[in-house]
């Protein structure tokens, strides 16, 4: 079988990062979270980081060309490994979707791109994000929750289960910025999706308002069949 690349599509708070982490840990797949990569640039104060710091804090989107170039670079490194790939948080706009389709058709025609769409209401997504904690180690950025029923409570208070670094809050995980992020996401969602579907990209949809283990199990059952 040819190499698969899953596009994890869903609003902030839908569980893309957590589901990715489970796939990476369980199967050794490779993930690119464009959001994590952006935050890494900011932490390292690179030229790109300085350019995007304010945009991220306000919940707006980064320039399409800049984000697509990041994905392009990553694919150059990872396609040759033959691993199953996860794109978490990309594409987010029609322009990104078009660039991505063009790029993969031209450079990686063998890659089996599939959409995994996570469905969640705005209220549930906000509820998750305002109680979210993330690992402050930018090479980790594991996601935790203060909600006792989430299955994502850190074993030791404010300490990452995976790497032991302190947990922190994302500056854009406030209710006000999150409402803006959701509005931005919803604005682009349908057109971007239509663009991928027009290019015959297969799609599977999952209810994301369930415990993460349940979502992981439905995902595994659906893709491993």
- Positions in the binding site for ligand AMP (CB under 6 A): 12, 34-35, 38, 55-56, 59-62, 67, 89-92, 96, 172, 181
Q: Which is nearer to ligand AMP, 21 or 92 (CB)?
A: 92
Preceding peptide of 152 cis, ω within 30°: no
Smallest separation, CB 225 to ligand AMP (Å): 28
State how far the Cα of 96 lies from the Cα of 107, in Å rounded to an integer: 16
Q: Which is nearer to ligand AMP, 79 or 188 (CB)?
A: 188
Q: Which is nearer to ligand AMP, 42 or 155 (CB)?
A: 42
Smallest separation, CB 186 to ligand AMP (Å): 13
When CB distances to ligand AMP are compared, the closest residue is 35
Interhelix angle 212-224/16-27, rounded to 10 degrees, is 60
Smallest separation, CB 206 to ligand AMP (Å): 18
Smallest separation, CB 7 to ligand AMP (Å): 11
Q: Which is nearer to ligand AMP, 1 or 89 (CB)?
A: 89
Show Cβ contacts of residue 223 under 8 Å, excluding neighbours closer than 6 positions. 4, 6, 114, 116, 204
Smallest separation, CB 184 to ligand AMP (Å): 7
Q: Which is nearer to ligand AMP, 197 or 224 (CB)?
A: 197
- Quick one: CA torsion of 55, 58, 60, 63, rounded to 10 degrees? 0
Across the chain, how many H-helices and E-strands are there?
8, 8
Select from 19, 31, 84 the least CA-distant residue to 215.
Answer: 19
Measured between alpha carbons, how far is residue 59 from residues 48, 162, 184, 214, 222 in Å? 17, 27, 8, 29, 32
Rounded to the nearest 5°, which phi and psi values hold at 94? -60, -45
Burial of 34 (0-12, 13-18, 19+ CB in 10 A): buried
Q: Which is nearer to ligand AMP, 185 or 216 (CB)?
A: 185
Smallest separation, CB 166 to ligand AMP (Å): 19
């Amino acid at each position: 079988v040819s190499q698969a690349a899953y596009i994890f599509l869903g609003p902030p708070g839908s569980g893309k990062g957590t589901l990715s982490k489970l796939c990476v840990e369980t199967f050794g797949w490779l993930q690119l979270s464009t959001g994590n990569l952006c935050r890494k640039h900011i932490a390292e104060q690179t030229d790109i980081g300085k350019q995007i710091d304010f945009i991220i804090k306000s919940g707006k989107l980064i320039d399409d060309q800049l984000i697509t170039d990041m994905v392009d670079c990553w694919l150059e490194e990872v396609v040759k490994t033959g691993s199953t790939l996860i794109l978490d948080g990309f594409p987010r706009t029609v322009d990104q979707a078009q660039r991505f389709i063009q790029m993969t058709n031209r450079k990686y025609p063998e890659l089996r791109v599939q959409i995994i769409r996570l469905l969640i209401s705005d209220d549930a997504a906000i509820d998750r994000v305002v109680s979210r904690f993330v690992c402050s180690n930018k090479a980790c950025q594991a996601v935790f929750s203060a909600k006792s029923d989430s299955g994502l409570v850190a074993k030791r208070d404010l300490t990452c289960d995976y790497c032991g670094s302190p947990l922190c809050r994302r500056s854009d995980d406030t209710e006000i910025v999150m409402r803006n992020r959701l509005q931005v996401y919803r604005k682009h969602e349908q057109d971007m999706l239509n663009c991928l579907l027009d290019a015959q990209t297969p799609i599977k949809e999952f209810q994301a308002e369930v415990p993460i283990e349940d979502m992981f199990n439905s995902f595994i059952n659906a893709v491993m069949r």
